[in-house]
Amino acid sequence: MIELVETSDGRLVRGFGGDSLNTAVYLARCGQRVNYVSALGDDPYSAEMLAAWSGEGVGIDLVERLPGRLPGLHTVMTDAAGERSFYYWRSAAAARDVFSAGRGAARLAALAAHDVVYLTLISLSILDDDSRRQLYAALAAARAEGTRVVFDGNYRPRGWRDPADARAVTAAILPLVDIAMPSLDDERALFGDRDGAATILRITDHGPREVVVKDGAGPCQILAPEGEFTVAAQPVVDVVDTTAAGDSFNAAYLARRMAGADPENAALAGHALAAKVIARRGAIIPADDPAAAV
């Protein structure tokens, strides 16, 4: 999406972002080969997005350009503590139709060629029921070929008709997930979980064997085949903007796990990258910023 970040003097600074896109960019910066699946318009903003993604090393062959369409848009406001609030304009975003009208078959089939498929609850919130069913079938087929599915239950109430819909979609996707990476505040808001242990228990009952529960500045809790871990976050003195804290954590964690690291070391890498991100404004640290090195 087009991202407009409001500065302290009320100006809006334009960039690009979105939860799964943020993770894709940081995964590429961590040295992973990444393809992004989406749809954009044929407008100048979409062309600029594609050039930026490609420049970051994110593959764009699975991004369709839809004539006459536009990308989504969101604004980000931060309070004095750096905590962010999002406001979305994406009811007609091209990405909503990435799998509709039969155009998604090739993209869905391509998922099985990847080691890992990453998606979020926001990814699912913009799809219609038929597109979700197609995606679920493709994920099941990909897993049968050895692909691992990673899911972040990023819950944004504005994206759903009501919480019951979001809970139903979460219940449908979790049996297809290998690694779940939720944030505790989202799970509390949607399911009423009292703590990370409750989140882990509820999610593993649906099938995932690895669950990483993020808790902002608090420690993350992990249940993985290697055991249980609690890993403290890296302290940040001046929090500027918490946008993409979880997205960047996910990227570094997954990059380390794919490289063979244990969950504890992967979480330490996740915390370290998130600490850099929240000390800067916006979701993605500019590539020319020394903090962009990972």
Candidate list 97, 152, 193, 247, residue with the active-site label? 247
Q: Catalytic residue at 247?
A: yes
Residue 292 and residue 25: Cα distance in Å, rounded?
Answer: 11
- Cβ–Cβ under 8 Å, residues 63 and 40: yes
Active site residues: 247
